[in-house]
Amino acid sequence: NIEAEILATYNQIKENHANKIAIVAVKDAVCQGCHMNIPPQMYNELQRGDSLKRCPICERIIYWKD
């Protein structure tokens, strides 16, 4: 069951990108959506996985991929 706020955020992001991709991996501190480095602190937080994060550049929802 997805919270309404998270679903609304997902749908908004999806509509804002031509390829309709709203969730992307981060590999080696690089967002796979925009191919830009994310800040080191955000990368550390992403690895912990305790909250939803968005790329500060493309604003997609990001997840850590080792």
Beta strands in 1-66 (DSSP E): 23-27, 30-31, 53-54, 61-64
CB-based contacts of 33, cutoff 8 Å, min separation 6 = 17, 21, 24, 55, 58, 60, 62
Domain count, the chain: 1
Q: What is the residue type of 25?
A: A
Q: Is the model's pLDDT at 1 over the cut of 80?
A: no
Per-residue pLDDT, 9: 94
pLDDT in tens, 6-51: 999 999 999 999 999 999 999 999 999 999 999 999 999 999 999 9
**Which range marks the domain in which residue 18 is found?**
4-64
